[in-house]
C-alpha cells in the first residue's frame, strides 16, 4: 500500500553564538532545499531524493559539507559522506576524501561495488579515475576561520526520505569539526551516523566521537525493528546521551511515516515536509 512521501533534512547542530543573521540564512536555505528535494521525492525514489538533497546541501557554502567544508590542523580539507539504501540495507561511503565537489556522489557510485567504503588518498584517486573533476571546496570564510584557529564541535548535513512505496534512504555528509588531527574519522561515514533498513532511517549530527561511542543511528533503527516506536527509540537514545553529557541530535523517519527530531543539547537546524506542511527550525 502506498503512502504519502516524507522528508526531513538537517544542516548540523551547535550554537551560532547569537548570530541571528547566519541562523536566518541557514533556515532560508534549508527551506529552499527541503522544498526542492520534496518535489523531487514525489517523482522518484527515496534513494534518488537523498542523493539530490545531499548534493544541494554540499553545494551551499553555508554548510560544513562539500563546498564550505572546514579545514583540519594542517590546513587541508578532508570530507566524509555516506549513503544507505534501506530497502537493500546497503551502506556505502567515503572517508577523508579530498579535491572533489560532491562526496555523496562518490558514495553513490560505491553502491555498485563489492567494496563499498573507501578512505583517504585512495578514495580521492578512485573518484578522479571515475571522471570526477578535481575541485577545491575551500571558501574565503573557511580560510579566515582556519587562520583564526576557529574550529567547532559539530558540522554535518543529512537527509532522510520515505517514498510512496515505503522505502527509506539516508545520506549524511560532513567536512569534519575543523582543526582536528589530520585524518580523524567522523561518524558520518559510519553506521553510527547514517543507517536505514525497512523499518526506519536516521541521520545524526553532533560530536562524532560521542555518536560513534553510542552507535546512535544503528541503535535507533534497530530498536524500531525490535518493536519500539520511532519516537520512543529516539527518546531512549537521546536520554542515554544526556546521561553521559554527549552532544548530538538525530533526525529520522519510520516506514509508517512518523517523522522525529531530537537532541541532547544545543540546537539542531532542520526542515521537514510531508506534502502538506513545510516546516523549518
User: At 24, is the secondary structure helix, strand, or coil?
Assistant: helix
Pairing of strands 6-13, 157-162: antiparallel
Q: Find the domain containing 218 and state its range.
A: 6-280
CATH assignment at residue 226: 3.60.20.30
Segments in 42-111 forming alpha helices (H): 46-59, 103-110
Within a domain: 180 = yes
Is 1 within the bounds of a domain?
A: no
Q: Residue 16 domain-assigned?
A: yes
pLDDT score for 274: 86
pLDDT single digits (tens) 25-34:
889 999 999 9
Is residue 224 assigned to a domain? yes
**Domain annotation covers residue 250:** yes
E strand or H helix at 162: strand 157-162
Q: What is the model's pTM?
A: 0.95
Q: What is the pLDDT of residues 271-281, one digit of tens each?
A: 999 877 666 67
Question: CB under 8 Å to 28, separation ≥6 — which residues?
Answer: none
SS3 3: coil
Count Cβ atoms within 10 A of the Cβ of residue 229 and give its class: 0-12 exposed, 13-18 middle, 19 or more buried: middle
Q: What three-state secondary structure class fits 22?
A: helix
- Give residues with Cβ within 8 angstroms of 254, minimum separation 6: 162, 199, 200, 224, 229, 230, 260
Q: Which residues are catalytic?
A: 156
Domain assignment present for residue 116? The answer is yes
Query: Do 277 and 38 meet the contact criterion of CB atoms below 8 Å apart?
Result: no
Domain count, the chain: 1
How far is CA 31 from each of CA 56, 185, 259, 263, 280, rounded to the nearest angstrom? 12, 30, 17, 20, 6
Supply the pLDDT for residue 153. 46
Residue 184 lies in a domain: yes
Structural contact between residues 246 and 210, judged by C-beta atoms closer than 8 angstroms = yes
> With a cut of 70, which residues of the chain have pLDDT below it?
15-19, 150-155, 277-280
As to burial, measured by CB atoms within 10 angstroms (0-12 exposed, 13-18 middle, 19+ buried), residue 206 is buried
Amino acid at each position: 500500500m502506498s503512502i504519502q512521501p516524507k522528508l526531513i533534512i538537517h544542516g548540523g547542530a551547535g550554537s551560532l553564538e547569537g548570530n541571528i543573521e547566519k541562523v536566518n540564512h541557514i533556515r532560508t536555505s534549508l527551506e529552499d532545499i527541503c522544498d526542492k528535494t520534496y518535489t523531487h521525492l514525489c517523482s522518484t525514489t527515496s534513494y534518488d531524493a537523498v542523493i539530490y538533497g545531499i548534493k544541494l546541501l554540499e553545494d551551499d557554502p553555508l554548510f560544513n559539507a562539500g563546498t564550505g567544508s572546514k579545514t583540519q590542523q594542517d590546513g587541508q580539507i578532508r570530507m566524509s559522506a555516506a549513503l544507505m539504501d534501506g530497502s537493500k540495507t546497503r551502506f556505502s561511503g567515503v572517508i577523508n576524501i579530498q579535491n572533489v565537489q560532491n562526496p555523496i556522489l562518490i558514495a553513490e557510485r560505491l553502491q555498485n561495488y563489492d567494496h563499498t567504503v573507501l578512505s583517504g588518498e585512495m578514495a580521492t584517486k578512485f573518484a578522479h579515475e571515475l571522471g570526477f573533476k578535481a575541485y577545491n571546496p575551500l571558501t574565503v570564510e573557511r580560510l579566515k576561520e582556519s587562520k583564526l584557529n576557529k574550529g567547532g564541535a559539530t558540522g554535518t548535513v543529512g537527509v532522510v526520505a520515505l517514498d510512496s512505496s515505503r522505502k527509506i534512504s539516508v545520506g549524511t555528509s560532513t567536512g569534519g569539526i575543523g582543526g582536528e588531527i589530520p585524518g580523524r574519522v567522523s561518524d558520518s561515514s559510519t553506521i553510527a551516523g547514517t543507517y536505514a533498513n525497512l523499518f526506519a532511517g536516521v541521520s545524526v549530527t553532533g560530536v562524532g566521537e560521542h555518536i560513534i561511542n553510542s552507535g546512535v543511528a544503528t541503535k535507533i533503527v534497530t530498536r524500531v525493528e525490535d518493536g519500539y516506536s520511532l519516537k520512543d527509540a529516539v527518546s531512549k537514545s537521546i536520554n542515554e546521551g544526556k546521561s553521559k553529557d554527549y552532544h548530538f541530535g538525530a533526525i529520522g523517519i519510520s516506514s509508517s511515516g512518523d517523522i522525529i527530531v531530537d537532541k541532547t543539547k544545543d540546537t539542531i537546524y532542520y526542515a521537514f515536509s510531508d506534502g502538506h506542511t513545510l516546516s523549518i527550525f
